[in-house]
Structure 1
């Protein structure tokens, strides 16, 4: 079931007042981003949590980066809502890398109508570096920066065919409306604040896009690593000893809604 968490913010877009929401559930109802997964090679589309609103499409997902052979897989372990679950027993990552990557996709003009490109909007990516019950976000705009190795494209770019140029990035990003990347919590230049990229727990990642300070679209995911929430049958009494982990996840979800 798709769920929207209203943030209590309204915005003006194309003459219409639209509520700003955090969207959970498969982007476009299918989990497929537009036009495709354009970074690297061998990366499958699908299993993205996201939103398509106000002509902006945002997608986030978790993916197994290091399997037992130390190789990447198109394994997402997606619950169809907002959560991706990975087990240390199913991975063999280097000591300075997380077993999973998180992948993001931004399309600033998903309809292809008009000329709005990536740099016409501002973005906020929030990456939780605290695996515990709290959150410690490292926040930044991944698009409006001088240097980046994002895959760039438009609404007709084929799978794996994105353009990437670290040093010419700021000169070319304004020519495109699609940007994507795949990042690991062990990337020290991006996430210097993380103590241990292999720490087990729950990581929350948020992504939003805004025009002139008004939020157009926002989405959020949880990545569970080595900790699996255990559902409790509704008919059973709520025993404190059995609800520690369930309360852990519920607390994090309440924090996102306020």
Structure 2
């Protein structure tokens, strides 16, 4: 194999090794039907309790936009909202908006967010408005995204606008890797020549 052919093969292998499956999710819950104890989500499973889809217009016009999810469903048993699909290993930006329950002043609610392990426990007062939260998360292996509400009184935190996007590798990284591989190959060839003399 000539040095040029080896370089092309090495560059190709480097490019393949750095590409990854990109998985993303964008859900504002507006395509869901407003209902108490809702479980027919397009992108989510509900376990260990219930959640409600509420919205504007509707019986509970508490969301900034059309629909949002009350994470403590009407059975007084807060549910876990977990993605139906796993996300491949890699680095992701997770963002979502979260508000207090907007109803009972005596309640402060909390939620655990898990994505490759517990990434946050958030507590909000009843009248806290929607706030954007953003996290950079690196998954070592495929995993689900989950919101687990700590309530149990049928009035919970309000969740909206969940987005997960893969964080791309810097554009120059494959080129940098190819350059390092080429330098290693040249050094190896030089050693081979010296060993023969």
Q: TM-score, normalised by structure 1?
A: 0.31
TM-score (norm 2): 0.38
Choose between structure 1 and 2: higher helix proportion.
Answer: 2
